[in-house]
Amino acid sequence: MTHVYFIRHAEPNYKNHDDQTRELTEKGMKDRVLVTDYLKDKMIDVVLSSPYKRAVDTVKDFADKYNLHIKSVHDFRERKIDSIWIEDFQTFSRRQWADFNYKYSDGEALNEVQKRNISALNAVLIEYQNKNIVVGSHGTALSTIINYYDSSFGYDDFERIKSLMPWVVKFTFKNTDCIGIDKINLFDDKS
């Protein structure tokens, strides 16, 4: 069995509108320790991440503590919305979930995000078969992966996890067949 732990990044600084360099807030930097605590006994073999700073920084505390190199995988990046900042994200997002091919002229449709993330994941499953893998990820990218294996996961589910950062989704695979999805709220047992 191959276990892939997708880690949705901790709280980012939304004042930084540059998607690639957006860093974690002070709270996000503290909350990433929840990821380290959760992963400590999972016998992780490899740590991969979207190249975006907030995703890398969320798994960095764990990787540093266990002396694991973080390998950047460009196709695990978040969806590109447009070349400008979108103020009404909720309306845009609802429209994209209703139509997986909807996008702004300079952005990506959820269908495109899903295809590139699944392609990257399939390559990882072949390269690291029967390993325990961590992937630093993003809310929309991760949601499209869940939707690929469980089509009932849609906009309402995405809305429910929108403020859940960090968030862990464990996928279990036999070869490249997904045989289980577990969603882990790291804040459930925290005060």
Residue 178 pLDDT class (50, 70, 90 cuts): very high
Model confidence at 31: pLDDT above 70: yes
By the 8 A CB rule, do 190 and 34 touch? yes
Q: Per the structure, how many domains does the chain have?
A: 1
Coil, strand, or helix at residue 20?
A: coil
* Domain assignment of residue 114, yes or no: yes
pLDDT tens, residue by residue, 45-103: 999 999 999 999 999 999 999 999 999 999 999 888 766 666 777 888 899 999 999 98
pTM for the model stands at: 0.93
Residue 92: CATH number of its domain: 3.40.50.1240
* Domain assignment of residue 10, yes or no: yes
* Domain assignment of residue 119, yes or no: yes
Which of 80-84, 105-109, 156-160, 167-171 is the least confident region? 80-84
- Helix (H) / strand (E) element for 177: namely strand 177-184
* Domain assignment of residue 57, yes or no: yes
* Domain assignment of residue 189, yes or no: no
* Domain assignment of residue 42, yes or no: yes
* Domain assignment of residue 191, yes or no: no
Range of the domain at 100: 2-184
